Amino acid sequence: MTRLPLVLLALAVAVPIIAQEGHPLKGSWIGVWDSNTQHGNDLLMVLNWDGKTVTGIINPGTDNIKPDRVTLDPVGWKVHIEADAKDKQGAAIRYVIDAAIQQLEMTNRVMVGTWKSQRGSGKFEMRRQ
C-alpha cells in the first residue's frame, strides 16, 4: 500500500493520455475513494471491454482487487462496480461503487460518485489517463 502513491505519481507523470474513442470505460483510471481506511485514498483502476462484459483490476500490483461486476448504463452513463476484498484484519468486505461518467467526449473523462463497504463509505472520483 505504501508504494501506491509513488506508483500513481509515476504513472501520472510518465503515461501520456492515450486517445480512446471506443467503449467509454476502457482504459486506466486514476483517482480517489475518499476516506477509505482499509485500502487508502488513492485508487488506480484498469478496465477492459471484451464486447460483452467489462473486466478489470483495482490497484494492480498492490491490492489486486478484481471487480466481479462492472456495468455501464448508457442512459446517463451510470457505472456500477462491485468487488470482493479483505480489510486490514483479513475479513471479507465488499465494495460497491456507483458513479457516472462526465465529460464523455474527453479522452481524460471523469467518473464521479460514491463508494461503500462494511468499513465505510465516501466520495469516489477517477479520471481516465
Partner 1 sequence: MNTKPSSRTYTAGALGLALFLWGAAAWAHHSISGKFDTKAAKVDLSGVITSVDWRNPHAHIFMNVTNRGETLNWAVELESPSLLEMDGWNRDTLRPGETIVVKGPRARDGSRQVWGEEVRYASNQLPVFAPKVKLSHTPAVPRPTPTWPDGHPALGALPGTADGFWTDPSKTALVEDGVNVAMDPYGVLENLADAAKVAPMQPWALELYRYRQSRQLRDDPAYVNCKPPGGVRQYQSRLGIQFIEDRERKRIFVMMGSGNHNYRIIYLDGRKQVGLVGGDDDNPLYFGRSAGRWEGKTLVVDLVDFNEDFWFTQGGLPHTDKLHLIERFTRTDFDTLRYEVQVDDPGAYTRNWSASWTLKWNGGAALPSYFCQNNRP
- Give the footprint of partner 1 on this chain (CB under 8 A): 18-24, 26, 49-51, 72, 74-75, 77, 104-105
Min CB(14)–partner 1 separation in Å: 18
Q: Which C-beta is closer to partner 1: that of 24 or that of 65?
A: 24
β-bridge partners, 28: 46
Q: Which C-beta is closer to partner 1: that of 15 or that of 18?
A: 18
Q: Cell numbers of 39, please?
A: 485500502
Min CB(55)–partner 1 separation in Å: 13
Rounded distance, CA 94 to CA 75, Å?
A: 26
Q: Which C-beta is closer to partner 1: that of 6 or that of 18?
A: 18
DSSP string, 36-86: -TTT-SEEEEEEEE-SS-EEEEESTTTT-B-EEEEEEETTTTEEEEEEEEE
Q: Which C-beta is closer to partner 1: that of 20 or that of 121?
A: 20
Min CB(11)–partner 1 separation in Å: 19
Q: In the 8-state DSSP scheme, what is residue 61? A: T
Min CB(18)–partner 1 separation in Å: 7
